Structure 1
């Protein structure tokens, strides 16, 4: 049994092939609905070895076959056995040939015909969505990287192993940039040890820009201990890193922030970057968090605070929690379903961080949300439709209250915020997936395959 898939990328063959050779390519092409994660990327398309960590402790090992490698034109990977760690996969045959051909596009520029051919026992109904996703992801990434093209940079990233950090780091390295991961444990290759309480003066030597994503998760019961972790992980460490960025002469300091700044009960008010801050614990924390980041601006560094909405990906956040519930046919609107939810596709958020690094017109706070916020009932209906399930069972507020406590329920689950990306719209920023339906279809592998 075999499957074949092909599409045309609007970029020269050399650029497309080089993209696959860079670190982060496998991470960017890994469908988010597939269980497991990238454990190791191949160092070479000629004879390298890649590993995927799957559920149950199993490791998918892919080895590149030198016999199938043609420089700039083709490479082959095949699954190989690796002892007990891959014993459950012994019966799975997999040989994947990647071929690239230069083509002339109607626009008169050079494009690339990309062709995947897989020999396997896995059915095409399972594999087809994966290849539709991979080809679209590649085309979108290359298009955005060409738009934001600049001289190669060295970017230091905190929180690089998290949901946003891992996706952003892979996007940057496939674009030809170098990522230095700032970690709090013993540093490995490509890493530097970062003490949030006392960063060393040389931490940012040779760094062009900083992306600061680290901070304790806001999800959890809003008891005293949880509120302390949220605040302590942001206030203090951000200021010290921002001051060091200014002292080190970096060109840009891009810090995470959140639309929680606007408070949890704003109703139908359209909230832009010029809107006043709201009330509540999260609003106070975010206001102080942004003030800490401005220490870099005080030192002459272009500084951006990325006010992030509800990130949509089955790898984490609310979609990771809701997907199995809706897939079982048990999903539905939360409480009245009337409150506004301001969301963003994970890849659109990655694009915004990448733009913040290189676009000198961006400075200060920016709303990282899709241009079309939705009411919670519409969110529920769109998710159910993407999974071909009903959305008729209303979820009472008791559930979130049990999980998050009263304050967490009000400030997270029932937050009513109609936020718009006014600053990005002014700059003509193009979103990959401005509509919720498009985001769900891409992130959940429910895309309609385009004609060949």
Structure 2
């Protein structure tokens, strides 16, 4: 093999703020071998070889490893790794052009390695070997190595795009190794916690999908409450909160319930009918679960029932969990939403209300909607730009939900927000810097009201800067505590420093 480039040499380890070993940047090599192009990425993981291998072999690993800035769509997921299974992805190969990539697991040796090969797809050939390696004399850490032999498509013409592929591979695998290590560190931070059985509502949504993957790769068992006909083999149980119907057997033997379901706040214009749906979908579902749990002889020990920073209303001052409820529709909904869990509280079940801020991910939500106008140079602050914006990166939110689920110290409201909330103008400037675009095209308040109607005020022109005092008091560690590091990780794959 000829190795013609080495990037990000690993030279040891540094210490995190909590003193735990943090891997340095991965060692990346590009080369050629018998006509094939080669790529290798290797880095240190903060847990044992067995734990790294188990993480990869469990269902959910693919969802956790897909780079958030790429619009890769899973068409068929093979689930847990085993020889012969195939996964199908839809991948972008040019603006407005997509191609299906079918990959087959050629070899899978639990605890050691697995190999996937391209059956059909964007490359002329693809052979990817994943290896999990011990570090001599250090059983508490290990090394992850990805080795790829590939050929560009279209013969000599394909070589014209080789530089882009090299860059994209390095960027993608640096992110994949970071995400693997970060997730494993989250689970290790939990200490000696036995695998939990967790019931999730809203599991098909933006947060629920990633929470399911995060928990399953960590060795937990996840069940879903769904409104459609359930697939029992996938751990699904039916409920219909509008009708007051629920399959209570979903909770038998469960350790925790994480309730995320509720109609979308910004999916449609706020008519009186839509506002009733927004409220009822949260209050009725929460009350149904709380009363069902309260009636059980041996209920789950914790009910994590989502809420929102809308609880605080529109404020000019910073607030934490000690602040009283604000005024307005979103505040009224949040108060009723939290109160609907009272039956579970009265039954002695630990109830936690994560008051969730604006969840950042380019896969959906507010950030997904902001990116296109910013890329066109038409982005900027909304209204005055002085309204507060309490944000949190999606991976930190998963960490919060996991932590409050397993840690008995958390009871009642917990602000699920980053420690550095900003105003809308600061957010727009940070997004513009990361996307390398100006952020000087504000949307006046009157225009927002014309475009979005009644929801424009509470969702766009008002806000609050909510700080996570409870999380801070209990030593919760954020991956991306500042806005720019969060945006850079999500939008260009740059891992946070330190």
By the TM > 0.5 criterion, same fold? yes
- State the partner residue of 1:330: 378
Q: Is the 8 A contact 1:293 1:305 kept in 2?
A: no
Match of 2:62 among 15, 26, 39: 26
- State the partner residue of 1:86: none
Inter-partner Cα distance in structure 1 for 2:145 and 2:249: 46
The answer to which structure, 1 or 2, has the higher relative contact order (CA under 8 A, 6+ apart) is: 1
- State the partner residue of 1:118: 148
| 1:117, distance to aligned residue in structure 2 (A) | 2.1
| 1:70, distance to aligned residue in structure 2 (A) | 4.3
Give 3-state SS (helix, strand or coil) of 1:34's partner.
Answer: coil
- State the partner residue of 2:337: 289
| 1:71, distance to aligned residue in structure 2 (A) | 4.1
Q: Is the 8 A contact 1:28 1:171 kept in 2?
A: yes
- State the partner residue of 1:408: 455
**Superposition pairs of residues 131-210 of structure 1, within 5 angstroms:** 131-149=173-191, 150-188=193-231, 189-196=234-241, 197-210=244-257
Inter-partner Cα distance in structure 1 for 2:331 and 2:399: 25
Inter-partner Cα distance in structure 2 for 1:32 and 1:169: 17
Inter-partner Cα distance in structure 1 for 2:385 and 2:281: 32
Match of 2:131 among 81, 87, 99: 99
Give 3-state SS (helix, strand or coil) of 1:418's partner.
Answer: coil
- State the partner residue of 2:105: 64
Q: Does 1:386 align with 2:434?
A: yes
- State the partner residue of 2:265: 218
Q: Is the 8 A contact 1:221 1:403 kept in 2?
A: no
Inter-partner Cα distance in structure 1 for 2:247 and 2:497: 52
Q: Is the 8 A contact 2:60 2:79 kept in 1?
A: no
**Superposition pairs of residues 234-245 of structure 1, within 5 angstroms:** 234-245=282-293
Inter-partner Cα distance in structure 2 for 1:25 and 1:363: 30
**Superposition pairs of residues 257-276 of structure 1, within 5 angstroms:** 257-264=307-314, 266-267=315-316, 269-276=317-324
Q: Is the 8 A contact 1:104 1:111 kept in 2?
A: no
| 1:59, distance to aligned residue in structure 2 (A) | 3.9
Q: Is the 8 A contact 2:178 2:495 kept in 1?
A: no
- State the partner residue of 2:159: none
Inter-partner Cα distance in structure 2 for 1:125 and 1:399: 41
Give 3-state SS (helix, strand or coil) of 1:11's partner.
Answer: coil
Deviates further, 431-440 or 189-198? 189-198
Inter-partner Cα distance in structure 1 for 2:355 and 2:456: 20
Inter-partner Cα distance in structure 1 for 2:495 and 2:404: 32
Q: CA offsets, 1:23-82, max 9 Å, x none?
A: 11111111112213334134324333223245788543211112xx4442221112213x
TM-score (norm 1): 0.92
Deviates further, 429-438 or 39-48? 39-48
Inter-partner Cα distance in structure 2 for 1:71 and 1:275: 50
Inter-partner Cα distance in structure 1 for 2:110 and 2:277: 50
Inter-partner Cα distance in structure 2 for 1:382 and 1:310: 15
Q: Does 1:444 align with 2:483?
A: no
| 1:198, distance to aligned residue in structure 2 (A) | 1.7
- State the partner residue of 2:50: 14
- State the partner residue of 1:304: 352
| 1:391, distance to aligned residue in structure 2 (A) | 1.6
| 1:157, distance to aligned residue in structure 2 (A) | 0.5
Q: Is the 8 A contact 2:115 2:129 kept in 1?
A: yes
Q: Which runs of 5+ in 2 are unaligned?
A: 1-36, 153-161
- State the partner residue of 1:424: 471
**Superposition pairs of residues 29-108 of structure 1, within 5 angstroms:** 29-38=65-74, 39-54=76-91, 59-66=100-107, 69-81=108-120, 89=121, 93-104=125-136
Q: What RMSD in Å do the two structures reach over aligned CA positions?
A: 2.0
| 1:330, distance to aligned residue in structure 2 (A) | 1.9
1:95–1:449 distance in 2 versus 1, CA, 3 Å: farther
Q: Does 1:255 align with 2:305?
A: yes
Give 3-state SS (helix, strand or coil) of 2:452's partner.
Answer: helix
Inter-partner Cα distance in structure 2 for 1:74 and 1:232: 49
Inter-partner Cα distance in structure 1 for 2:80 and 2:470: 40
Inter-partner Cα distance in structure 2 for 1:305 and 1:214: 13
Inter-partner Cα distance in structure 1 for 2:53 and 2:388: 43
1:201–1:72 distance in 2 versus 1, CA, 3 Å: closer
Q: Is the 8 A contact 2:256 2:405 kept in 1?
A: yes
Inter-partner Cα distance in structure 1 for 2:46 and 2:123: 38
Deviates further, 115-124 or 286-295? 115-124
Deviates further, 174-183 or 409-418? 409-418
1:210–1:71 distance in 2 versus 1, CA, 3 Å: closer
1:372–1:90 distance in 2 versus 1, CA, 3 Å: closer
